[in-house]
């Protein structure tokens, strides 16, 4: 039977759905006819930027993806690395930016739900979540609203489903005012032999859908919202998905039981583009076809059209393939978990995705055309001739003395304590958390054998805006440095690349340079990229966001009991500065507070020297030689010293070699290349650290050349806790 042609949408409908005229012509060529309503909806979503990566795929192919610990690399629902004893850790980070800008609670909640499904879709039990958030300045009522509701959404889903939220980052910058960023990262633990891939296989095998019922919520949501700029007056609320963490928990447990019992051939979650993307990707990876009957799909609303069923982004749904003789067992497990298990299709040898509505064929598309032959575009990058971003509003008098500067930095939105936000999350559920937020530079989770994994997530949009290549290298170095501080060796990296409209030459330049920096940094550190996400068109009426590549790295350490801490521990311990730290003030947090414009470039870091420092600090932490280790990040050396003092509740007396410029030495930044360490003097000397002073007292006293400051712990704590008043 031929596909229904009662509705031929034509070019105008294709344009309204986001396809270009050329792309619509290509669809017609591949089908040998015009697509009908169902087929056009499927092409418009799978050929969208969010699903196809048509402006970034060629660049992503340049990243290093192989390494001795890699179990699963790019192309699966999540990447995975070997952590010994037959175990693998699965992890991935994804964006939910545009939905969160429209409806922050559900946007963030479903972002967490979606990334958790990616983890258990490969057979791993989720054990942790981290988040990377960007908003406008907290003086903005809109930004406070978005932050408050996004954090609530993250807490709602993670806490309800029983997965610890163990870390993350929150930054405030004016370019994120209209287009916030909500990136969620999740980790899961699996036995290697029980992991599963998503490729459909076995002609005659049965396709089963389970999870929540399908409704109109989320139709065109993530795929459409994330493939175009946010309009000032667009009302996109109906396209934001609605999450149900309790349904998500049932889908999780059902999936893991099905895998534990060996009942499945393949498994895939339903995310952006819903049933269309999940089924087409499974067929593409397996080199097979699928016949799906939408009349069998459990619905919330009985009058849904076939195209609506195929593109609905209703949450908490999974698609699996099983052998015909195992269908009854699969459905019995689904019934146990009350997840609407339903056989909706069959694997074929046609290499076509056919959509049926009972006996009527309503869509028939070659899988290769739908998935593998989406047009990929070459960017046309051009370095901008003028600054893209206005200088920030000054909030600190350039004439402020060193003490006032340190207090201002500690109280600034990008440095102040995040505990008022993190305390909304359950970070100890499942009883694996060894280092909680605020205790160390990376989260640490205990494994069954007594070893551990560590994870951190990092990125600096402002520094990447100044220099996309070097800023991205710095982000990778800083994330790896955070792992070194707890004694962890990097095993694999995931990324979320958040940029503006790639069709604009200056944005294309930012994206291309950033990916080049990401690849070079990963090769220099020997860290493979095992997966990630690209989020483009992050722009509003006032322009693009800062280019924001976010990186998450998972590392391993042999003894959970020896995981490092950032807090000064004992009076009399020596304090040192380790690493090739060469700070600069341009693009620093202090430069922002002073209202300085971004520089046109950043000084390049010595990546080889930084790697050597990471390894030396890591080895010292593992050996138990250090009392504390903390990387020097936002606010520079003075802020790092104050943070270690506050974490330990004990002061420090320090004298720093000014090196010709005391202000740069104290407040300049060079992410990923400097560490404040404390411990026995001999241990610091063995590390090659520059000795600065001693731990002790109830104040932090710092001298650098002719610049001196002193602030009590109480004064530092009051400044550092400034966010508590804004977000109680």
| Active centre residues (catalytic) | 50, 96
Beta-sheet pairing, 164-172 with 125-135 = parallel
Cα–Cα distance for residue pair 606/625, rounded to 1 Å: 26
Element spanning 220, H or E: none
d(CA 40, CA 356): 15
Q: How far is CA 406 from CA 396, 401, 700, in A?
A: 11, 9, 11
Which residues touch 403 (CB under 8 Å, ≥6 apart)? 709, 710, 711
CA distance 490 to 471: 20
Strand pairing class (87-95; 79-84): antiparallel
Tokens representing 28? 């017609």
Structural contact between residues 200 and 265, judged by C-beta atoms closer than 8 angstroms: yes
- How far is residue 721's CA from residue 387's CA, in Å, rounded to a whole number? 34
Q: Could you tell me if 533 and 496 are in contact, meaning their C-beta atoms sit under 8 angstroms apart?
A: yes
Burial class (CB in 10 A: 0-12, 13-18, 19+), 386: exposed
Phi-psi region for residue 563, left (φ > 0), alpha (ψ -120 to 50) or beta? beta
**3-class DSSP state of 536:** coil
Helix H, strand E, coil C: the string for 103-131 is: CHHHHHHHHHHHHHHHHHCCCCEEEEEEE
Choose among 251, 259, 293: nearest CA to 275: 293
Q: Which residues of 560-574 are buried (b: 16+ CB within 10 A; e: fewer)?
A: beebbbbbbbeeebb
The count of C-alpha atoms lying within 13 angstroms of the C-alpha of 295, restricted to the half-sphere facing its C-beta, is 7
Q: In this structure, how many other beta carbons lie within 10 angstroms of the beta carbon of residue 383?
A: 11
Q: Read out DSSP for 141-153? A: HHHHHHHHHHHHH
Cross-strand pairs, 322: 206
Report the alpha-carbon distance of residue 295 to residue 308 in Å, rounded: 12
Helices (H), 488-528: 505-525
Instruction: Assess contact for 234 and 225: CB atoms under 8 A.
Output: no
Residues 6+ apart with CB under 8 A from 698: 650, 651, 712, 713, 714
If you ran DSSP here, which 8-state letter would residue 547 be given? P
Show the DSSP H helices in 353-394 as ranges.
367
Are the CB atoms for 114 and 496 separated by under 8 Å?
Answer: no
Nearest to 547 by CA among 503, 513, 511, 597: 511
| Coil, helix or strand at residue 574 | strand
Pairing of strands 543-544, 539-540: antiparallel
């Amino acid at each position: 039977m031929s596909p229904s042609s009662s509705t031929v949408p034509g070019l105008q409908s294709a344009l309204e759905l986001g396809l270009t005229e050329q792309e619509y012509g290509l669809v017609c060529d591949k089908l040998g006819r015009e697509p009908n309503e169902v087929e056009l909806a499927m092409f418009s979503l799978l050929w969208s930027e969010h699903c196809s990566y048509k402006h970034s795929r060629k660049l992503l192919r340049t990243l290093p993806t192989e390494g001795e610990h890699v179990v699963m690399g790019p192309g699966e629902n999540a990447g995975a690395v070997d952590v010994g004893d037959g175990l693998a850790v699965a992890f991935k980070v994804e964006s939910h930016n545009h939905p969160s800008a429209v409806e922050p609670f559900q946007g963030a909640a479903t972002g967490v739900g979606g990334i958790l499904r990616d983890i258990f879709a490969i057979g791993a039990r989720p054990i942790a979540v981290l988040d990377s958030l960007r908003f406008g300045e907290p003086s903005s009522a809109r930004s406070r609203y978005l932050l408050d509701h996004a954090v609530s959404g993250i807490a709602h889903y993670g806490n309800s489903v029983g997965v610890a939220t163990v870390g993350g980052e929150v930054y405030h910058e004016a370019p994120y005012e209209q287009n916030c960023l909500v990136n969620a990262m999740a980790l899961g633990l699996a036995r290697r032999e029980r992991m599963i891939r998503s490729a459909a296989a076995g002609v005659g095998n049965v396709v089963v859908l389970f999870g929540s019922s399908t409704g109109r919520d989320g139709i065109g949501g993530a795929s459409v919202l994330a493939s175009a700029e946010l309009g000032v007056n667009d009302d996109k609320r109906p396209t934001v998905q609605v999450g149900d963490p309790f349904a998500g928990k049932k889908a999780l447990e059902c999936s893991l039981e099905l895998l534990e019992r060996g009942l499945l051939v393949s498994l895939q979650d339903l995310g952006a583009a819903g049933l269309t993307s999940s089924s087409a990707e499974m067929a593409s990876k397996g080199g097979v076809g699928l016949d799906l009957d939408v009349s069998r799909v459990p619905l919330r609303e009985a009058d849904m059209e076939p195209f609506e069923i195929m593109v609905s982004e209703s949450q908490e749904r999974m698609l699996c393939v099983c052998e015909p003789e195992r269908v009854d067992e699969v459905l019995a497990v689904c019934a146990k978990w009350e997840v609407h298990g339903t056989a909706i299709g069959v694997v074929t040898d046609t290499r076509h995705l056919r959509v049926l509505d009972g006996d009527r064929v309503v869509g028939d598309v070659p899988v290769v055309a739908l998935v593998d032959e989406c047009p990929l575009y070459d960017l046309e990058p051009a370095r901008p001739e003028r600054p893209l971003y206005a200088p920030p509003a000054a909030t600190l008098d350039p004439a402020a003395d060193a003490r006032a500067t340190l207090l201002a930095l500690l109280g600034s939105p990008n440095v102040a304590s995040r505990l008022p936000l993190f305390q909304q999350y359950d970070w100890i559920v499942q009883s694996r958390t060894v280092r909680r937020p605020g205790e160390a530079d990376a989260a640490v989770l205990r494994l069954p054998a007594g070893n551990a994994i560590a994870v951190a997530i990092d990125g600096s949009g402002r520094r990447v805006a100044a220099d996309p290549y070097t800023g991205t290298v710095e982000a990778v170095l800083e994330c790896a440095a955070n792992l070194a501080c707890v004694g962890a060796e990097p095993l694999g990296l995931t990324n979320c690349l958040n940029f503006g409209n790639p069709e604009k030459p200056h944005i294309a330049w930012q994206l291309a340079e950033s990916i080049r920096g990401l690849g070079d940094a990963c090769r220099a550190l020997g860290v493979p990229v095992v997966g990630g996400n690209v989020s483009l068109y992050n722009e509003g009426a006032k322009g693009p966001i800062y280019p924001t590549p976010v990186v998450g790295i998972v590392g391993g350490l042999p003894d959970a009991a020896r995981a490092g801490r950032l807090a000064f521990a004992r009076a009399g311990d020596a304090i040192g500065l380790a690493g090739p730290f060469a700070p600069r003030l341009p693009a620093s947090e202090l430069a922002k507070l002073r209202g300085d414009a971004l520089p046109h470039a950043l000084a390049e870091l010595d990546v080889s020297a930084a790697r050597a420092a990471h390894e030396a600090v890591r080895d010292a932490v593992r050996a138990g030689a250090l009392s504390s280790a903390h990387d020097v990040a936002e606010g520079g050396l003075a802020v790092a010293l104050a943070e270690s003092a506050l974490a330990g509740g004990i002061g420090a007396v320090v004298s720093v070699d000014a090196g010709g410029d005391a202000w740069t030495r104290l407040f300049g930044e060079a992410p990923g290349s400097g560490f404040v360490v404390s411990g026995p003097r001999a241990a610091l000397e063995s590390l090659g650290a520059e000795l600065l002073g001693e731990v002790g007292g109830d104040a932090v006293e710092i001298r650098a050349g002719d610049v001196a400051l002193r602030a009590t712990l109480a004064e530092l704590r009051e400044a550092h806790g400034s966010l508590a008043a804004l977000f109680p």
